[in-house]
Amino acid sequence: MVNLLITGGLGFLGQQAARRFLRRGAALWSPVDRCLKPLSQLTLFDAGGIPDDLPAEITQDERVQVKIGDITAEGVPAELVDEPDMAVLHLASMVSGDSELNPDRAWEVNVLAQRALLDALAASAPGARFLFTSSTATFGSLPPHAPPDYAAGDGTKQLPGNTYGFCKVVCELMVNDYARRGAVDGRGLRLPVVVVRPGAPPPLATARRHTAGALAGPIL
């Protein structure tokens, strides 16, 4: 059976992903046997505390373990992916407003931590599935005179307009290279918006403040 790690696992997307995996009796790709196998253990890793309203279907499932820590701390990535049959959903990230205010920390969290996680995964579970979340911020602003149906894709030139977008461009290229070398089976998903967690929003996050407020309350 396969262990699944979700970093940023106690956030909005992490919780929803965890619930889906647990509900459907997920089958995950095994880098050892190179076939689909049942989920054995789901680890939710996060830098924040455990939410009081964490759903019972997560807290009461014996396959779930929650770990709190700093993904940039030395040795932590290796501790998180220390099994040969692993898969990773990497959601942990420092969002745009915070990244603008502290670009050095953004580089540590968004780029260096991902590299450490990839290195650890490649060492313990070569060829394991690694799915991470990027962002449409990698493209920056819409080009001048863009038509209403304009759509960016993998062939679109990436011109990020902030530190967060820049970090995500680097992360995309990094995963591409690890996948090219066969170290991991890497995939990326560009999200158009991030729903921040409840609490005081960071500066420069007015739009996210309204989004989070609109989505406040039970989800799914």
The domain ranges of the chain are 2-214
- For residue 196, what pLDDT band results from cuts at 50, 70 and 90? low
All residues at 6 or more sequence positions from 148 whose CB lies less than 8 Å from its CB, including other chains: none
Given a cut of 90, is residue 87 above it in pLDDT?
yes
5 Cβ contact list (under 8 Å, min separation 6)? 43, 45, 80, 81, 86, 87, 88, 89
Does residue 201 register a pLDDT over 60? no
Give the per-residue pLDDT at 74. Answer: 96
**Count of other CB atoms within 10 angstroms of residue 110:** 23
* Confidence tier at 60 by pLDDT (50, 70, 90): very high
Report, as an integer, the average pLDDT of 6-14. 95
Q: Which of the listed CATH numbers 3.40.50.720, 3.30.1360.20, 3.90.1150.10, 3.30.1330.90 matches domain 2-214?
A: 3.40.50.720
Give the active site residue among 164, 169, 186, 202: 164
How confident is the model over 135-140, as a mean pLDDT?
A: 92
Examine the residue annotation and report whether 164 is marked as an active-site residue of this protein.
Answer: yes
**Tens digit of each residue's pLDDT (9 = 90 or more) over 94-123:** 988 899 999 999 999 999 999 999 999 999
Q: How far, rounded to the nearest angstrom, does the alpha carbon of residue 70 sit from its chain's CA centroid?
A: 14
Residues 140-179: pLDDT tens digits? 988 888 898 988 888 899 999 999 999 999 999 999 999 9
pLDDT of res. 208: 45
Say yes or no to pLDDT of 210 above 90: no
